[in-house]
């Protein structure tokens, strides 16, 4: 197989076709989640990458894929974290994988983290190599790579042509091969075949907006974190932080200097991965998952009921309940509870939850039923068919502060939908009953539409 590409097939994720390859026949399914630029065939041309993947496939069934908007997958919009999580699930379904280990490198780590926290029943374990948590340096995150201004400067170099996109160049992500002519030429070819300059910048800008610090504590699957001390892309401290935040995670300091695992740290990564997968135990059935909770209720319900009388009020509530349930079904929401004139529902993605809330508001406005909504994403406890935990309480408190027709969200929800096109208005800091610190809340801008789920 040294010079042959594994067969490329396609999985359908909504309306998008995701290119994937499968090699190896091991008992463990391993989904490799790449970072920035990908093209399945171009990567396979690189000898170091080829040997690395073949070694992983020696003890796993290895599943590789191109992200949407990249390489051999449909060149559509890059997509949100939520949509790309759906893409992973679509590829797993296409290859008949019920449960897999996710190996995320660089920007592939946030995607893997959110998938594992949201779908622990489909995640056997997590492995991170140079995994990032949040790129941009800020006052409350001194572990970032660079400031927003520095980052935007790099993006401008790509768009202005200063970076000579698609031409051979210094291998900035792998110092061990920094000036290797063959690898430098390959980097230029990867740029040309992975994405246009504008698409690459869109992907980078989305990556710079991601912040998964709040997701890490919600992960409850076996986790291995590997990082090189001098990583030129993601600071070593981010790897340390990640291992500290995920309960029971094992941290391995790699003896090398490259950000990618198929050159100077290949032997270590393969050995550590084999030992980890050979010895890990099945995770218990998940009792805690990451979810987005949505609370809705009718504004001024007491006064409305008094005005209408019992019979008309019951009729209005029936129309309300029927409408909300139909929209929840359309957006893959799960009804958790119905108390009088309000609903509690959960979603496996925050963008979908927001659009559902907007659809509910718009539909009920047409029926002259004003509603308000509140959303929060966090770790919830599954108790039979019910949900419990602080995340549920936060969602309820957020909803209570919403005005008529308003969709109000926590800062966690806002951070997770970066790149979705959903815009927000800052509603400032608010004291939420039962919480020690005030939380910043955001209202979904009135112009946001309920796009198709």
Beta bridge partners of 16: 13
Amino acid 283: pLDDT: 52
pTM: 0.82
Secondary structure class of 316 (helix, strand, coil): helix
3-state helix, strand, coil in the chain (%, to 5): 40, 25, 40
| 422-428-431-433 Cα dihedral, nearest 10 degrees | -20
- Contacts of residue 268, defined as CB under 8 A and 6 or more positions apart, other chains included, come to 226, 252, 254, 255, 256
Cα–Cα distance measured from residue 156 to residue 149, given in angstroms and rounded to the nearest whole number: 11
Beta bridge partners of 115: none
Let me know if 255 is exposed, middle or buried by CB neighbors in 10 A (0-12, 13-18, 19+): exposed
Q: How many angstroms from the chain centroid is the CA of residue 391?
A: 18
Per-residue pLDDT of the chain (453 residues; tens, 9 = 90+): 344 679 999 999 999 999 999 999 999 999 999 998 999 999 999 989 999 999 999 999 999 999 999 999 999 888 888 898 999 999 999 999 999 999 999 999 999 999 999 999 999 999 999 999 999 999 999 999 999 999 999 899 998 888 899 999 999 999 999 888 889 999 999 999 999 999 999 999 988 998 999 999 999 999 999 999 999 999 999 999 999 999 999 999 999 999 999 999 999 999 999 999 987 555 555 578 999 999 999 988 888 888 888 888 888 888 899 899 999 999 999 998 887 788 999 999 999 999 999 999 999 988 888 999 999 999 998 877 788 899 999 999 999 999 999 999 999 999 999 888 899 999 999 988 877 788 999 999 876 665 655
Mind giving me the DSSP string for 317-346?
Answer: HHHHHHHHHHHHHHTT-EEEEEETTEEEEE
Architecture of domain 288-444: 2-Layer Sandwich (3.30)
Indicate the length of the chain as a whole number.
453
Output DSSP code: residue 58.
T
Q: At what angle do helices 197-209 and 148-160 cross, to 10 degrees?
A: 170
CATH of domain 9-279: 3.40.50.1820
Cα–Cα distance measured from residue 105 to residue 91, given in angstroms and rounded to the nearest whole number: 18
Mind giving me the DSSP string for 160-207?
Answer: HTTT-TTS----TT-GGGTT-HHHHHHHHHHHHHH--HHHHHHHHHHH
Amino acid 447: pLDDT: 61
- Tokens of residue 139, six digits: 């006052």
List the chain domain ranges: 9-279, 288-444
């Amino acid at each position: 197989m040294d010079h042959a590409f594994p067969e490329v097939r396609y999985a359908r994720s909504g309306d998008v076709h995701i290119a994937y390859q499968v090699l190896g026949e091991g008992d463990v399914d391993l989904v490799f989640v790449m970072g920035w630029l990908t093209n399945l065939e171009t990567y396979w041309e690189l000898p170091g990458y080829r040997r690395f993947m073949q070694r992983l496939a020696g003890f796993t069934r290895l599943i590789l894929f191109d992200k949407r908007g990249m390489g051999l997958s449909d060149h559509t919009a890059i997509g949100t974290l939520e949509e790309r999580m759906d893409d992973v699930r679509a590829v797993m379904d296409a290859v008949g994988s019920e449960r897999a280990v996710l190996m995320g490198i660089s920007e592939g780590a946030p995607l893997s983290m959110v998938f594992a926290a949201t779908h622990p029943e489909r995640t056997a374990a997590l492995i991170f190599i140079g995994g990032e948590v949040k790129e941009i340096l800020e006052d409350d995150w001194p572990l970032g790579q660079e400031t927003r201004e520095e980052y935007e400067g790099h993006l401008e170099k790509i768009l202005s042509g200063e970076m000579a996109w698609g031409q051979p160049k210094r291998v900035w992500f792998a110092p061990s091969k920094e000036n290797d002519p063959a690898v430098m030429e390959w980097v230029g070819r990867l740029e040309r075949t992975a994405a246009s300059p504008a698409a690459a910048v869109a992907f980078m800008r989305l990556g710079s907006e991601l912040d998964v610090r709040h997701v890490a504590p919600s992960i409850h699957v076996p986790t291995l974190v590997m990082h090189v001390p001098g990583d030129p892309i993601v600071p070593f401290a981010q790897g340390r932080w990640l291992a500290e935040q995920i309960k029971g995670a094992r941290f391995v300091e790699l003896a090398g200097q490259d950000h990618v695992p198929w050159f100077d740290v290949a032997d270590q990564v393969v050995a550590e991965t084999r030992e980890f997968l050979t010895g890990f135990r099945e995770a218990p059935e998940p009792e805690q998952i990451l979810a987005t909770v949505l609370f809705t209720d009718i504004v001024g319900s007491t006064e409305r009921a008094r005005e209408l009388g019992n019979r008309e009020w019951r009729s209005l509530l029936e129309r309300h309940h029927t409408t909300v349930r139909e929209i929840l079904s359309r957006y893959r929401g799960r009804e958790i509870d119905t108390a009088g004139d309000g609903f509690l529902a959960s979603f496996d993605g925050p963008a979908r939850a927001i659009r559902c809330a907007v659809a509910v508001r718009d539909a009920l406005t047409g029926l002259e039923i004003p509603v308000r909504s509140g959303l929060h994403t966090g770790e919830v406890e599954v108790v039979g068919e019910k949900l419990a935990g602080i995340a549920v309480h936060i969602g309820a408190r957020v909803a209570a502060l919403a005005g008529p027709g308003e969709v109000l969200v926590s800062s966690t929800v806002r951070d997770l939908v970066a790149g979705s096109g959903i815009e927000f208005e800052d509603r400032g800091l608010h004291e939420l009953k039962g919480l020690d610190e005030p939380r910043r809340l955001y209202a979904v801008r009135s112009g946001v539409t309920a796009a198709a789920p």
